Amino acid sequence: MDDCIFCKIIDKKIPAHVIYEDAHAVAFLDIMPRTPGHTMVIPKYHAATFLDLPDADVAPLFAAVKKVDALLAKKLMPDGMTIGINQGPASGQEVAHLHVHLMPRWLNDHGSAVQSLVNHEGEESVEEIKRKLLSS
Ligand code: 5GP
Ligand code: ZN
43 burial level (CB within 10 Å; 0-12, 13-18, 19+): buried
pTM over 0.95: yes
Which pLDDT score is estimated for 86?
Answer: 98
Calpha distance 111→55 (Å, rounded): 33
Ligand 2 mean position to 45 CA, how many Å? Answer: 6
Q: Residue 2's pLDDT is what? A: 82
Distance CA 9, CA 60 (A): 19
pLDDT of 87: 98
Q: How far is the CA of 21 from the centre of ligand 2 (A)?
A: 16
| pLDDT number for residue 57 | 97
**What average pLDDT does this structure show over 8-37?**
98
1: pLDDT strictly greater than 90: no
Ligand 1 contact, 93 CB (< 6 A): yes
pLDDT digits 0-9 by tens, 59-109: 999 999 999 999 999 999 999 999 999 999 999 999 999 999 999 999 999
Task: Find the mean pLDDT for residues 28-46.
Answer: 98
Predicted confidence band at 49 (pLDDT cuts at 50, 70, 90)? very high
